[in-house]
Structure 1
Amino acid sequence: MFENSQKTATVQCLNSHWIGNMNLACQTTQCALPKIEHADVNCPNGTNYRDRCIFRCRNNAIMIGQINYIICEENGLWTLPEAFCQVVCPHEGLLARNISYDSINCKVKRIYDMQTSYPVSTVCRLNCLRHYRASQMQTLHTKIRLVCSDDGVWIGPSCIPITCPSPKIVYIGSYNCTNGFEIGSSCRFQCPGIAQHRYSVCKKDGTWSNRFQCSSPRTACLSPPSMRDIQFTCPRRLYPGKRTLPYKFQ
């Protein structure tokens, strides 16, 4: 199908000659570059009349339907696509968050068979694996809620390993743990000036079996010097910070 730049033109044969606009220029009917939502389009032969363009869904979408091409028609418009791309969230995105497979509970309205994918706005409730807890939570909460967003990404917390709190910074270098601060890790620590080692194990509830705590070294002070007309009353042993009070004046 061809057309001229003015769509129509009129010429007349008069006295063996053509009269009218003879500067005609016809060109092939063309369609605009097609755009299909959530898909990449490829037109290997161009976008002229009867040319065919193929479209493929992007990574965050799946194709609903079988025919994945459109054809340029004589009116300069593309045929309506018989398939479309549906944005989905992948099933693997759930498992990547360290959740229990058997606990997956998703509320979804599946109009089409999308196998292991979930459409936008799907809400899933899941349980964390054993010895894992929900992130973004201060307590040992083991249930999470995820929502499939408009761009095909799961929105919500993940499950992270339950760990015990790290010892205070003053104890760095005085302990050695078998597996960091994770459950079951055994830490051996030694207080300064004490030869005996102590052990603490990270329990399932995220607490240590023994506290990382060392007593401050205590040094004795000599009795205060005697002073004329003052009698001091002191405890049996004098340590830094203990007060001695003058009780009587003689």
Structure 2
Amino acid sequence: MPHPSNSCLRQPCQMDSCSLPHLEHASVRCSGGGEASRCSVQCHRGFTVTVLNGKRVAANQRKTELECFHGSWDRIVSCQPVDCGVPDESHVYHAIFSCPWGTTFGKQCSFTCGSPAILQGDSDRLVCLEDGLWSFPEAYCKIECPEVPQPPHSRLLTPQCLVSGHDIGSFCRFKCNPGFYVTGSLTRKTPRKYFKLECLREGQWEETGCEPISCPALPVVFQGMYTCTDGLYYDSCCTLQCLDQTENKKICCTKDGGWTAEFSMCRNLQGSCPPPQNLNSVEYTCQQGLDVGAACYPSCVVALDMDLHDPVALANGTTSDTLRHWMLPVKVQSIVCTGRMKWFPDPQLIHCIPSCEPFGGDGWCDTTNNRAYCQYDGGDCCPSTLSTRKVIQFGADCNQDECSCRDPGAEENKNRTASSDRGGGSGAAAGGAQ
């Protein structure tokens, strides 16, 4: 029998164990012991697992497993509330959201309606739900149009439009009064009398209206001899003023665009117009004489080696040197001796400017034609008005912006504000009724 001092003592191995995890907002169930310990973590409703250290887990998980290894859990986790994020317009259109308490599970966000929208419904709050989505709104923001405005010179054809609170997309129909037509339609072959206004998504009514028809311009020979109540527009009356007031005559513009009568020249007029002066490189041919009603024909005096020029009427103070590309002068075919014994247009306002080259719209940007007077070369100087979208310069004599896209109707220039030097009008001399 062996001596007790020589015998071996059998002792169990000491294994490292993991402490029981304590987590807020979670249920923890553990099994096994020591290195075999395993714990199942289940986050409460509205909370998800967040890994602080160790092996990662898929996003937005409520449940995970922990394993003990050498006395430490394979991951350190916590349960954090679901975050719904700030609500966007897709939740409530036209709303402005406020979330002072945060955007996590159980928190509420309130909303107000941005002007001009108004709140429709019982509750102005959303709640962040356990799935990370906001609760379905119990109210919404509605945009309505107020009572439709009455465009001048028109009649409302839709009686229900007299009240306020019109839904977006609704229409109100109108008819222009006699002598008036839908704005912009007078240039068509058949002008329109009827139009409708739509309630737009901004809560405002579409803008359009009626404009008066105009009568033909009165003969130039009467220039300066008459006054009109409203130019040449419908219902305007023009009165011819003679030295003998018994000869004064009044005519009015009708709803059909015609005058009620014609002017006849005052009797016993004495005198004639003086010979027109050759000013601003313009000379005149007066084969009809200088009496009232006679016409003289202007032509530009240029050297043989210079380009062709056209006589045009410019606004007082504008010259051929100060004429800007956006100004649209009127070519003068003739001047007429009026009953006031004055030439119209006034020869002092007639200047010579370069004629348009006959190559507009040929695909080449011609600097001579790149101006309003020549229809901006038929669109040849702007990519957006060319089918090829590529501008090809004609010649190499470009100074300053002569080769740039100047056409105000081109896409490149539609969003630009009018330049500070555009306040001078069209550049044409005034020639309407006096």
TM-score between the two structures when normalised by the length of structure 2: 0.37
User: Are residues 51 and 169 of structure 1, via their aligned partners in 2, closer, same or farther at CA, if it must alter by over 3 Å?
Assistant: farther
Deviations 1:147-203 (A, max 9, x none): 44566565585223x343262584654432233344543323469x99964432334
Which one-letter code corresponds to 1:30 in the other structure? Answer: D
The 8 Å contact of residues 106 and 123 in structure 1, kept in 2 or not, is answered as: no
Q: How far apart are residue 54 of structure 1 and its match?
A: 0.8
Which one-letter code corresponds to 1:20 in the other structure? Answer: D
Choose which of 86, 106, 117 in structure 1 pairs with 2:165: 117
Q: How far apart are residue 31 of structure 1 and its match?
A: 0.8
Question: What is the distance in 1 between the residues matched to 2:151 and 2:118?
Answer: 20
Q: Does residue 1:165 correspond to 2:215, yes or no?
A: yes
Which one-letter code corresponds to 1:135 in the other structure? Answer: T
Q: How many residues matched? A: 205
Equivalent residue, structure 1, for 2:230: 179
The runs of 5 or more residues in structure 1 that have no matched partner are: 108-114, 220-250
Question: What is the distance in 1 between the residues matched to 2:121 and 2:223?
Answer: 62
Question: What is the distance in 2 between the residues matched to 1:141 and 1:213?
Answer: 34
Equivalent residue, structure 2, for 1:56: 113
Question: What is the distance in 1 between the residues matched to 2:144 and 2:223?
Answer: 47
The runs of 5 or more residues in structure 2 that have no matched partner are: 1-45, 51-56, 267-290, 295-434
Deviations 1:204-248 (A, max 9, x none): 5443323357698478xxxxxxxxxxxxxxxxxxxxxxxxxxxxx
Q: Does residue 1:33 correspond to 2:33, yes or no?
A: no
Choose which of 75, 78, 87 in structure 2 pairs with 1:21: 75
Which one-letter code corresponds to 1:175 in the other structure? Answer: Y
Question: What is the distance in 2 between the residues matched to 1:122 and 1:149?
Answer: 8
Q: How far apart are residue 77 of structure 1 and its match?
A: 0.8
Question: What is the distance in 2 between the residues matched to 1:180 and 1:169?
Answer: 14
Q: How far apart are residue 80 of structure 1 and its match?
A: 0.4
Deviations 1:57-88 (A, max 9, x none): 553x5544232332222321101011234454
**Structure richer in strand, relative to its length:** 1
Choose which of 104, 112, 121 in structure 1 pairs with 2:158: 104
Q: Does residue 1:134 correspond to 2:182, yes or no?
A: yes
Q: Helix, strand or coil: the match of 1:100? A: strand
The 8 Å contact of residues 57 and 63 in structure 1, kept in 2 or not, is answered as: no
Choose which of 42, 45, 48 in structure 2 pairs with 1:3: 48
Deviations 1:114-148 (A, max 9, x none): x6233344343333457644334446764333444
Which one-letter code corresponds to 1:42 in the other structure? Answer: F
Equivalent residue, structure 2, for 1:91: 147
Question: Over aligned residues, Cα RMSD in angstroms?
Answer: 4.3
The 8 Å contact of residues 39 and 85 in structure 1, kept in 2 or not, is answered as: yes
The 8 Å contact of residues 31 and 76 in structure 1, kept in 2 or not, is answered as: yes
Which one-letter code corresponds to 1:127 in the other structure? Answer: K
Choose which of 100, 121, 128 in structure 2 pairs with 1:72: 128
Larger Rg: 2
The 8 Å contact of residues 112 and 119 in structure 2, kept in 1 or not, is answered as: no
The 8 Å contact of residues 171 and 197 in structure 2, kept in 1 or not, is answered as: yes
Alignment of 1:232-247 (within 5 A): none
User: Are residues 98 and 30 of structure 1, via their aligned partners in 2, closer, same or farther at CA, if it must alter by over 3 Å?
Assistant: farther
**Structure richer in helix, relative to its length:** 2
> Which structure exhibits the higher relative contact order, with contacts defined as CA atoms closer than 8 Å and separated by 6 or more residues?
1
Q: Helix, strand or coil: the match of 2:122? A: coil
Q: Helix, strand or coil: the match of 1:95? A: coil
